[in-house]
Structures are given as structure tokens and as C-alpha cells.
């Protein structure tokens, strides 16, 4: 083997080459960014979405958690929502009637994420126990009224930050973790099918905080990380990320595919949301707040969701704002945080019902709220 001095020298040379190539790549990419969505839309003479003050209203407040709400997920059919809270419980709600159908006490109270299975029969959750627990909602409660864990997915070496079932596969689930990896699981056997990142060179270099599975091609998913990048993965090729997306300047707390499945949105600690093109890697738009007049610290983006057409981008912020962005014109057209009956704390999570008719927001004020359109709708 070469001497230490030679190895160090080679390492320094390789590092310099990588940095130089990265810079060339950055410049070349810059040249391809001939416009962004906002400029392109304005050039076409498009007008922003215009809401009347009472168009979007809070039509339900789901009260029941005794701690901050951290995560929520809708069922693909029905109107059920599962939420996870600092109180160490999962609650399953019928969003239409506001009733709680299940209240699940967790073994590890430090839960960070929850998800509904595609058939609505099971829920998954994970957190600081570094595991993902699965509960079958039809199972018999024990003497204390608690649902038993039907499966424990163990193997992560750090907290589970996010979990999502693969849309057309009841038995597959993907988790993201503070151990810098994502894992694809077979829920029936509780086995790891693939690990994305970790040992392999193109994995994240920071905690992975969020993930989103492509609904049109469920072999593809994106993950957002504290390393300020998003990575695209093909579940059939775990050995390396398909692409890495740069642009953000802080932890990426939320990542969601755009409805056309060819783009995805992100929300970050740098206070911005961004829209990226999946295939080319182009950053198509940045959604930046106006700086605070009082020069307070910029609120961070905690969670995002697109309306069913993609025309609206909902973004929850650490200061309780919930901006409704016109995705095409990059303008804030409404702030749910200032409406009547809005949350009294940070918005930590949000999600659309499967038919796109309702938005659910979860907050550190311990509540969930449902928002829907109650104004006059014009059909064209």
C-alpha cells in the first residue's frame, strides 16, 4: 500500500478535482436556467389565483390530543385521518364527523411520524425509538384498551423521521431516518428489502427528515435531508441515488411530489419552498417570504402540500403562518394562519384529502383543523 503521505496527497488531489467538477457543473446548470416558472407564467399574461376572504374556511377542529401534533396522514378512500402527537398517542379520526375511532397509546411516546396503509386497515408510526410500529385497526384491544403492535420494523440506527406506505402495495413501506438512510420494508415479514444511503457513496450526509413516493411510478421516491439536498432513489437500485438536487441552504423538512409526478416541491429551514424538475434536476422556482419588517428571524418551512391540480402550494411555517402560494406566479394568495379560527401555534404537518376537497393542518396547539372551499366556485 502507498505511504500515508502519498495517500493524503491523493486524497487532497481527488477532493480538489471533485470540487472543481462540482463548480463546472454548477455553472453549466446555471446556463440552462433560462427562466423560472414565475417569469414564464407572467410572460404568458397569467393572473394570480384570487380568493375572497371567506372562500377557504376552517370547517372542523379536531380536538383530543394533549400534546403537540407532529404528523398526520389521510386514508386514500374514506375521510379518515391518523395523527401523531407529543402526548405519545396516535388518534384515528373520522374527519367528516370529527369523531375519534381509535386512540392508540404508544410504547415509545416520542413519535415523529405516522401513516395510513393504502387499504385503511393499518397505521404505521415511528420516532426516537428508531423503529416503525404497525397497528392493525381491526385487532382486539387488550385489557387496558390498548391496540397491540402487529409488527415492529427495527434496523434503523437513528430516529425514524418519516414513513410512507408504497401506494399500490399494502406490504411495502419506506422510512427515513436520522441515521442518514431510507429503508424499504416488507411489512408482512418485518424484513428490510433495501437500504438507501449509509455505506454507499451517494447517500445523504445528514439526517433524512422527509420522503415522498412517486404515485405514477412507485419505484421512485425522493428524500430530503439536513445535508440541504434532495435525492431521488429507484427502489430497484439501492446502491446509488439516481440524482441529487442542490439549492436549499438549510435542512429540508418536507418534500412532496407535484401532482404531475415529474416535479417535486420542498420546504426548508432556510425559509423557502422550491420546485425541482425530477428528470433534469433544474430548480424551477423558489418561493421566498418577504423579510420581516421587524427583522425577526425568518420563519422556517415545516411542511408542504400541493392542491390536486398543483396550482396551489400550501406551506406551514414555524411562526404559525400557513401560506397558500400560487405555484405558477409565486405569490402568496392567502394566509390560513391569519383567518378566523386559525391555529394558535406552529403548523407542524399538513395534507390534502385524496379527492383534494379538504386540507388538514396539524399544529403545536394540539389541534388538527380541516379547511375547505365554501365560496362561490366558477366552473370553466
Partner 1 sequence: MRGEANGEEQRHLHDAEEEGEEEERVDAQRQRAQRAARPSSAPQQQRSAPAPGAVMRSVGYVGKHRLSAAIARLDQELQSLQKELDELETMKPASVACQEVISSTEGKPDPLLPITSGPENASWERWFQRVRSSRSNKWWASKGSDFS
Which CB, 172 or 247, lies closer to partner 1? 247
**Among positions 178, 299, 316, 320, the unique one binding partner 1 when judged by CB under 8 A:** 178
Which CB, 291 or 356, lies closer to partner 1? 356
Q: Which of 314, 360, 344 is nearest to 116 (CA)?
A: 360
Min CB(189)–partner 1 separation in Å: 25
Cell triple for 185: 420494508
Cell triple for 354: 385524496
**Among positions 64, 126, 155, 203, the unique one binding partner 1 when judged by CB under 8 A:** 203
**Among positions 174, 358, 360, 368, the unique one binding partner 1 when judged by CB under 8 A:** 358
> At residue 13, what are phi and psi to the nearest 5 degrees?
-65, -45
Q: What are 334's strand-pairing partners? A: 324
Cell triple for 3: 505511504
Q: Is 10 in the site for partner 1 (CB under 8 A)?
A: yes
Which CB, 120 or 250, lies closer to partner 1? 250
Q: Is 362 in the site for partner 1 (CB under 8 A)?
A: no
Q: Is 50 in the site for partner 1 (CB under 8 A)?
A: yes
Asked if residue 265 lies in contact with residue 279, where contact means CB atoms within 8 angstroms, the answer is: no
C-alpha distances in angstroms, 280 versus 222, 235, 306, 348? 14, 19, 21, 30
Query: Tell me, what DSSP letter sits at residue 240?
Result: S
Q: Is 133 in the site for partner 1 (CB under 8 A)?
A: no
**Among positions 103, 128, 190, 332, the unique one binding partner 1 when judged by CB under 8 A:** 128
Which span (113-121, 139-147, 213-221, 353-361) binds partner 1, by CB under 8 A? 353-361
Distance between first and last Cα of the chain: 72
Q: Is 179 in the site for partner 1 (CB under 8 A)?
A: yes
Question: Concatenated DSSP letters for 142-162?
Answer: -TTSPPPPSEEEE--SS-EEE
How many CA atoms, within 13 angstroms, populate the side-chain half-sphere of residue 12?
A: 6
Query: What gap in Å lies between CA 330 and CA 286, rounded to an integer?
Result: 8
Q: Is 58 in the site for partner 1 (CB under 8 A)?
A: yes
Residue ranges in 253-312 that form contacts with partner 1 under rule CB under 8 A: 258-260, 262-263, 275, 277, 280-282, 284, 307-312
Q: What are 233's strand-pairing partners? A: 221
Q: Is 216 in the site for partner 1 (CB under 8 A)?
A: no
Q: Is 356 in the site for partner 1 (CB under 8 A)?
A: yes
Count of residues interacting with partner 1 (CB under 8 A) = 107
Which residues, other chains included, contact 11 with Cβ-Cβ below 8 Å and sequence gap of 6+? none
**Among positions 74, 116, 159, 245, the unique one binding partner 1 when judged by CB under 8 A:** 159
Min CB(38)–partner 1 separation in Å: 9
Q: Is 250 in the site for partner 1 (CB under 8 A)?
A: yes
Q: Is 235 in the site for partner 1 (CB under 8 A)?
A: no
**Among positions 63, 66, 99, 188, the unique one binding partner 1 when judged by CB under 8 A:** 99
Which span (24-32, 136-144, 210-218, 287-295) binds partner 1, by CB under 8 A? 24-32
- DSSP reduced 3-state for 200: coil
- DSSP reduced 3-state for 351: strand
Which span (117-125, 138-146, 187-195, 368-376) binds partner 1, by CB under 8 A? 368-376
Which CB, 113 or 235, lies closer to partner 1? 113
Question: Concatenated DSSP letters for 121-136?
Answer: SEEEEEETTSEEEEEE
Q: Is 26 in the site for partner 1 (CB under 8 A)?
A: no
Which CB, 11 or 105, lies closer to partner 1? 11
Cell triple for 341: 379560527
**Among positions 81, 134, 211, 226, the unique one binding partner 1 when judged by CB under 8 A:** 226
Beta strands in 187-300 (DSSP E): 191-196, 208-213, 220-225, 230-234, 243-245, 252-257, 263-268, 272-277, 283-288
**Among positions 48, 120, 198, 345, the unique one binding partner 1 when judged by CB under 8 A:** 198
Amino acid at each position: 500500500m502507498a505511504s500515508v503521505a502519498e495517500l493524503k496527497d491523493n486524497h487532497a488531489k481527488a477532493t480538489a478535482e471533485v470540487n472543481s467538477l462540482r463548480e463546472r457543473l454548477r455553472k453549466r446548470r446555471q446556463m440552462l436556467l433560462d427562466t423560472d416558472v414565475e417569469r414564464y407564467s407572467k410572460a404568458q399574461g397569467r393572473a394570480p389565483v384570487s380568493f375572497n376572504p371567506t372562500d377557504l374556511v376552517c370547517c372542523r377542529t379536531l380536538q383530543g390530543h394533549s400534546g403537540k401534533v407532529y404528523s398526520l396522514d389521510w386514508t386514500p378512500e374514506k375521510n379518515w385521518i391518523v395523527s401523531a402527537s407529543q402526548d405519545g398517542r396516535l388518534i384515528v379520526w373520522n374527519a367528516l364527523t370529527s369523531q375519534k375511532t381509535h386512540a392508540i397509546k404508544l410504547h415509545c411516546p416520542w413519535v415523529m411520524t405516522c401513516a395510513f396503509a393504502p387499504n385503511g386497515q393499518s397505521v404505521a408510526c415511528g420516532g426516537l425509538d428508531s423503529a416503525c410500529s404497525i397497528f392493525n385497526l381491526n385487532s382486539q384491544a387488550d385489557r387496558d384498551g390498548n391496540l397491540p403492535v402487529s409488527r415492529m420494523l427495527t434496523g434503523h440506527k437513528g430516529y425514524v423521521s418519516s414513513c410512507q406506505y408504497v401506494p399500490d402495495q399494502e406490504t411495502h413501506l419506506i422510512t427515513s431516518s436520522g441515521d442518514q438512510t431510507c429503508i424499504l420494508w416488507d411489512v408482512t415479514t418485518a424484513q428490510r428489502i433495501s437500504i438507501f444511503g449509509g455505506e454507499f457513496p451517494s447517500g445523504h450526509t445528514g439526517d433524512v427528515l422527509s420522503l415522498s413516493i412517486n404515485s405514477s411510478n412507485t419505484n421512485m421516491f425522493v428524500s430530503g435531508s439536513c445535508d440541504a439536498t434532495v435525492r431521488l432513489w429507484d427502489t430497484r437500485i439501492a446502491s446509488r441515488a439516481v440524482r441529487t438536487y442542490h439549492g436549499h441552504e438549510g435542512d429540508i423538512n418536507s418534500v412532496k411530489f407535484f401532482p404531475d409526478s415529474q416535479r417535486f416541491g420542498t420546504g426548508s429551514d432556510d425559509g423557502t419552498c422550491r420546485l425541482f424538475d425530477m428528470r433534469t434536476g433544474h430548480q424551477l422556482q423558489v418561493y421566498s417570504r418577504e423579510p420581516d419588517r421587524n427583522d425577526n428571524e425568518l420563519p422556517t418551512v415545516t411542511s408542504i402540500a400541493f392542491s390536486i391540480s398543483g396550482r396551489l402550494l400550501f406551506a406551514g411555517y414555524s411562526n404559525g403562518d400557513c401560506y397558500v402560494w400560487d405555484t405558477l406566479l409565486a405569490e402568496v394568495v392567502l394566509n390560513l394562519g391569519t383567518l378566523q379560527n386559525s391555529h394558535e401555534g406552529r403548523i407542524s404537518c399538513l395534507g390534502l384529502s385524496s379527492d383534494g376537497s379538504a386540507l388538514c393542518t396539524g399544529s403545536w396547539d394540539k389541534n388538527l383543523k380541516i379547511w375547505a372551499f365554501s365560496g362561490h366556485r366558477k366552473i370553466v
